[in-house]
Homo-oligomer: A and B are copies of this chain.
Amino acid sequence: MISVVIIGKGNVATHLYKAFLNADGILVTQINSRKLTNIPKANLTIIAVSDDAIAKVSSKIKNSLVVHTSGSVAMGSLKNTTNKGVFYMLQTFSKNKKVNFSDVPFCLEAENKNDYKLLKTVAKSIGKKIYTLNSEQRKALHVAAVFVNNFTNHLYKIGNDICEENKVPFKILQPLIEETVLKIKTLSPEKAQTGPAIRNDKKTIKNHLELLNKEQQKIYKLITKSIVNSIK
């Protein structure tokens, strides 16, 4: 039996806690990061708090192996004097949406092989996709995730705005959005590109710009330029 303490009450902490409750071989406790006076002993202590609070919370923990769950914080930012590691799950966690952990990539980092082995066993108790990334790689992945998740979602918002302004149902675009994702399962995004920018079709680009507001135009122009620059 591996004992795990999760510190934090946010989305990541709570989804993780629930998953461990149903996992074989894991004994899990969840505690509030504001009540750190009485931390139970555990084989693994997972700090799932906001990035800014990781250093402070970790400084108060005496357990043997302490990890955080952040994509953008280096392992070295942990301030416990015992062993350190990272247990980063690359997924968006929403409060009311069930997480299917077998789809979630676990990106693990540790200071030595035994700790890594422990992290891997714990991750495998709830998940399937396990990766080893160092802090630099994880940082890069986190930035890439902002592009493919947050920024992509903002492009969906702009698409939605344009549709609403013109009384076009946004759901017409859903199959195209899904096809865009399916395509890059078999083609690189570079090879999957279509549309006026990659054809450098100046007439269509001009017509499109006329339909947009200033902020939309700026984004349209900049990404179009970047697509044109990517033509080899």
Residues on A lying within 8 angstroms of B by beta carbon are 51-52, 72, 90-92, 94, 97, 103-105, 107, 129, 131, 133, 136-137, 139-160, 162-163, 165-170, 172-181, 183-185, 188-190, 192-198, 203-204, 207-208, 211-212, 215, 218-220, 222-223, 226-227, 229-230
Contacts and interface: CB of A to CB of B under 8 A. Distances in A.
A227 B197 contact: no
B175 A148 contact: no
Contact of A223 (B72, B203, B219): B219
B180 A149 contact: yes
Given A92-B183, A133-B168, A167-B137, A177 B160 contact: no
A52 B103 CA distance: 45
A103 B169 CA distance: 16
How many copies, total?
Answer: 2
Contacts of A166: 136-137, 140-141
Contacts of A153: 180, 183-184, 189, 192-194
Nearest to A172: B105
Residue with the greatest number of chain B CB neighbours at <10 A, chosen from A91, A107, A168, A170: A168
A94 to B, nearest CB: 8
Contact of A146 (B105, B170, B195): B195
Contacts of A162: 140-141, 143-144, 147
A220 B192 CA distance: 22
Contacts of A192: 153, 156
